[in-house]
């Protein structure tokens, strides 16, 4: 007759179940933290991920090629970034961003480049990341957005423009269907008689630049004429030495949700998290080794003089007092020999040692006392002991 076994799970099975469960938990945490960071890279819109004609992937590559620290951020930038960073708000969707959100980003950062939108696009159904159609955005939508940026600002699209003016104009941009703005709230940096292409908002408390036409820096327009040189001059004018350029892509809907794990597993808290995990692992390991048979107790302390001397010596060694004991032993030995030989009474320590060494020399002894010993404690004690035996007992 067979007997039913009580242990339905072996130790090896339990180990593998624990290992698989731990790996699954770690994978889910890492996926939640890092899994969606590449989202948006197939976008065809007017964002920093896009390689379409209206995107800004070429601008990101240009800045990185110039060794300018560049970041594409999916975390709201209002009040989060340091003052040395230039926040780029490139072509926000007028229908997707409201006035309070836009003003929070502008007022929450000390350096901002706001690029006005220009095109309504339709993604290509056959080529991911491309656009199939681009139409100029309606004047009414642009004017409503410009009013949010600065009261009284209007958008104009002149058929002809006069000569370019301004310290950042360079040789002048090359842009089709040029889009300019008119506003008394802007200090022109690149402008014509017909309007302003790039200007600084007055009386904002921050350095906020407004670029009226995005085609100066889109993938389709950056390579034309002197556009790239003008864009680099514009960025360097806004960016302090060593400052970074941050493209805020939350305005296009690319938002990375903050979780406790993303907070703990990204700098600057990553180091502290790893140390805490290491401490927890060591704690578990130390607790695990306690399982098994009890550790035998240490034998009780034995009685007697020998045990007393050994224990006392152990305490002195543990307390780190050997050098001080050796120094006191030496001083006591010198004083004892001097008293017995009646040498150097009332003299200083140096004079007494000199007199004792002179007596040893006259008697032909080999061991000399010398000054304070700097030998290791045990060697110094042996030297004093040998010297005393010779001084009191002869060679």
CB neighbourhood size of 260 (10 A): 10
Q: Given this model, what pLDDT does residue 158 score? A: 94
Give the pLDDT confidence of 174-192 residue by residue, as tens digits: 999 999 999 999 999 999 9
pLDDT at residue 386, as a whole number: 81
Q: Is residue 333 one of the residues assigned to a domain?
A: yes
| pLDDT at residue number 227 | 94
- What integer pLDDT is reported at residue 1 of this predicted model? 45
Q: What confidence score (pLDDT) does residue 34 get?
A: 55
Strand 154-156, strand 180-182: pairing: antiparallel
- 84-107 burial: b if 16+ Cβ within 10 Å, else e: ebbbbbbbbbbeebeeebbeebbe
Cα gap 305→250, rounded to integer Å: 81
State whether 111 and 176 are in the same domain.
yes
Query: Given a cut of 50, is residue 4 above it in pLDDT?
Result: no
pLDDT tens digits, 16-25: 766 776 776 6
Task: Note whether 313 and 221 are same-domain residues.
Answer: no
Looking at the fold, whether 341 and 251 belong to one and the same domain comes out as: no
In this structure, the answer to whether residues 93 and 184 fall within a common structural domain is: yes
Cα torsion through 301, 307, 308, 312, rounded to 10: -90
pLDDT at res. 265: 65
Show which of 257, 284, 319 is a domain's final residue: 257
The answer to whether residue 368 is domain-embedded is: yes
Mean pLDDT across the chain, nearest whole number?
79
Would you mind telling me the total number of residues written for the chain in this entry? 395
In a domain, 87, yes or no: yes
Residue 9 lies in a domain: no
d(CA 202, CA 205): 8
Position 382 scores a pLDDT of 82
pLDDT, residue 123, reads 87
CA distance 147 to 137: 16
Range of the domain at 168: 57-257
Which range, of 6-10, 134-138, 290-294, 359-363, averages the lowest pLDDT? 6-10
Across 17-46, average pLDDT: 63
Assess whether 102 and 174 both reside in one domain: yes
Query: How many Å separate Cα 117 from the centre of its chain?
Result: 35
Provide the CA 381 distance to its chain's centre, in angstroms: 55
Residue 272 included in any domain: no
Residue 28 located in a structural domain: no
Domain for residue 347, yes or no? yes
Residue range 154-182: mean pLDDT, rounded: 92
The mean per-residue pLDDT over the stretch 192-218 comes to 91
Tell me the mean pLDDT in the region 42-55: 83
For residue 348, what pLDDT is reported? 79
pLDDT band at 224 (very low <50, low <70, confident <90, very high): very high
Same domain, 253 and 309: no
Query: Do 165 and 246 belong together in one domain?
Result: yes
Same domain, 95 and 220: yes
Regarding whether 168 and 314 lie in a shared domain, the answer is no
230 and 113 fall within a common domain: yes
CB 102 within 8 A of CB 148: yes
In total, how many domains does the chain have? 2
Q: In this model, does residue 39 exceed pLDDT 80?
A: no
Identify whether 4 is part of a domain. Answer: no
Is residue 82 located within the same domain as residue 195? yes
Asked whether residue 253 falls in the same domain as residue 362, the answer is: no
Q: In the listed set 201, 236, 257, which residue is the last one of a domain according to the structure?
A: 257
Confidence band (pLDDT; 50, 70, 90) for 358? confident
Q: How confident is the model at residue 99 (pLDDT cuts 50, 70, 90)?
A: confident
By the 8 A CB rule, do 230 and 174 touch? no
Q: Write down the pLDDT at residue 60.
A: 94
Pairing type for strands 119-123 and 131-136 reads antiparallel
Where residue 72 sits, what CATH number does that domain have?
Answer: 3.40.50
What is the percentage of the chain residues whose pLDDT exceeds 70?
77
Residue that finishes a domain, picked among 199, 227, 257? 257
Mean per-residue pLDDT, 43-63: 88
Confidence of residue 135 (pLDDT cuts 50, 70, 90): very high
Task: Give pLDDT tens digits for 303-347.
Answer: 677 777 777 777 767 777 777 887 887 778 878 877 787 777 777
Give the range among 20-24, 74-78, 330-334, 348-352 with minimum mean pLDDT: 74-78
Kindly tell me if the per-residue pLDDT of 168 is higher than 50.
yes
Of 153, 124, 139, the C-alpha closest to 54 is 124
């Amino acid at each position: 007759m067979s007997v039913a076994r009580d242990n339905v799970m072996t130790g090896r099975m339990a180990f593998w179940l624990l290992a698989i469960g731990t790996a699954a938990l770690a994978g889910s945490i890492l996926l939640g933290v890092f899994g969606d960071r590449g989202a948006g890279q197939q976008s065809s819109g007017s964002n920093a991920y896009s390689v379409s004609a209206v995107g800004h992937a070429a601008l990101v590559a240009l800045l990185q090629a110039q060794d300018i620290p560049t970041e594409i951020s999916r975390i709201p930038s209002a009040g989060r970034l340091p003052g040395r960073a230039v926040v780029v708000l490139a072509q926000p969707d007028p229908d997707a961003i409201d006035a309070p959100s836009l003003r929070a980003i502008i007022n929450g950062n000390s350096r901002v480049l706001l690029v006005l939108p220009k095109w309504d696009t339709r993604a290509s159904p056959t080529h991911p990341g491309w656009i199939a159609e681009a139409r100029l955005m309606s004047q009414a939508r642009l004017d409503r957005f410009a009013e949010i940026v600065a009261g009284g600002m209007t958008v104009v699209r002149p058929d002809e423009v006069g000569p370019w003016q301004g310290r950042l104009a360079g040789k002048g941009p090359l842009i089709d269907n040029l889009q300019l703005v008119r506003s008394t709230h802007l200090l022109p940096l690149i402008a014509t008689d017909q309007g302003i292409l790039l200007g600084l908002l007055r009386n904002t408390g921050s350095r906020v630049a407004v670029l009226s036409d995005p085609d100066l820096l889109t993938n389709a327009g950056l390579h034309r004429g002197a556009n790239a040189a003008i864009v680099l001059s514009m960025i360097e004018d806004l960016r302090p030495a060593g400052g970074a350029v941050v493209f805020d892509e939350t305005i296009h809907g690319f938002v990375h949700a903050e979780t406790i794990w993303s907070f703990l597993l990204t700098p600057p808290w990553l180091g502290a998290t790893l140390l805490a995990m290491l401490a927890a692992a060591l704690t578990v390991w130390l607790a695990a080794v306690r399982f098994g048979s009890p550790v035998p107790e240490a034998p009780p302390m034995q009685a007697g003089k020998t045990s007393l001397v050994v224990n006392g010596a152990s305490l002195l060694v543990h307390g780190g007092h050997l050098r001080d004991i050796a120094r006191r032993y030496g001083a006591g030995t010198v004083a004892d020999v001097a008293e017995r030989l009646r040498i150097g009474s009332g003299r200083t320590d140096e004079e007494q040692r000199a007199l004792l060494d002179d007596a040893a020399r006259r008697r032909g002894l080999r061991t000399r006392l010398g000054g304070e010993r700097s030998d290791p404690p045990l060697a110094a004690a042996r030297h004093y002991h040998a010297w005393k035996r010779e001084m009191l007992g002869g060679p």
